Amino acid sequence: MPNYSSHIIFNLFALIVMFILYQRTPVFTEFQLSLFLLFYFIGTVYLTPDMDTKSEAQKRCGLFCFPYRKLFKHRGISHHWFWGIITRIVYVLVIFCIFIAILYGVSGIESFMNALLSYKYELAVAFGGVFISNLLHIILDFIVK
C-alpha cells in the first residue's frame, strides 16, 4: 500500500494536472477556486481515508482523529469512495456543533447551519475539493496494492 508521502505526491501531481486543464475553461471565481484548493489540501493532508488508523494523518490531527479511529475500522467504510467522505464530513460537522453548542448553545448551532445553507454553492465547491482528494487516495490504494 502507498504510504502517506506517496498519497500527498500523487494528489499534488493530480492537482497540477487539474489546474492546467482548468486554465482552459475556468468555472470558479477566484474565491471559489481558493476554497476548492484549501479543501483539496485539507482532504489530502488531514481528512484522508487513513484517519481510521495510526497514520501520519492521524498524528497530524492528534486527539481530533481518535474518536473517528475508534468508530471506524481501517479499510472499512472509511475507504468507500462515497460513504467514506460522508462519514468524515459528518464527523467534522458533529465536532464543530459540539464546540459551538458549548460556546453559544443551541442558537449558535442554528446560526451555523443557516450560514452553511446560505452558501450552498461554496459548500459544494469545498465538498468537491475534499471529495476529489479522497477519491484520488482510494484510486491510488486500488492501483498500488
Q: pLDDT tens across 10-55, in order?
A: 999 999 998 888 888 788 888 998 999 999 999 999 888 888 777 7
**Which residues contact residue 69 at a Cβ distance below 8 angstroms, ignoring those fewer than 6 apart?**
51, 52, 53, 54, 58
Which three three-digit cell numbers place residue 22?
482548468
CB 7 within 8 A of CB 140: yes
How confident is residue 103, by pLDDT bands cut at 50, 70 and 90? very high
Q: Which three cell numbers stand for residue 53?
A: 488508523
Q: What is the rounded distance in angstroms from the CA atom of residue 128 to the CA atom of residue 65?
A: 21
Whether 57 has a pLDDT exceeding 80, the answer reads no
First-to-last C-alpha distance (Å) of the chain: 5
pLDDT, averaged across the chain: 89
Which residue has better confidence, 62 or 36? Answer: 36
| Long-range contacts at 11-20 (CB < 8 A, ≥ 24 apart) | 11/40, 11/44, 11/133, 11/136, 11/137, 12/44, 14/136, 15/40, 18/132
- The pLDDT, as a whole number, for residue 90 is 93
The answer, yes or no, to whether residue 132 has pLDDT greater than 80, is yes
pLDDT given for residue 1 in this prediction: 67
pLDDT for 59 equals 80
Greater pLDDT, 104 or 67: 104
What predicted TM-score, i.e. pTM, was given to this entire model? 0.88
Q: Is the pLDDT of residue 60 over 90?
A: no
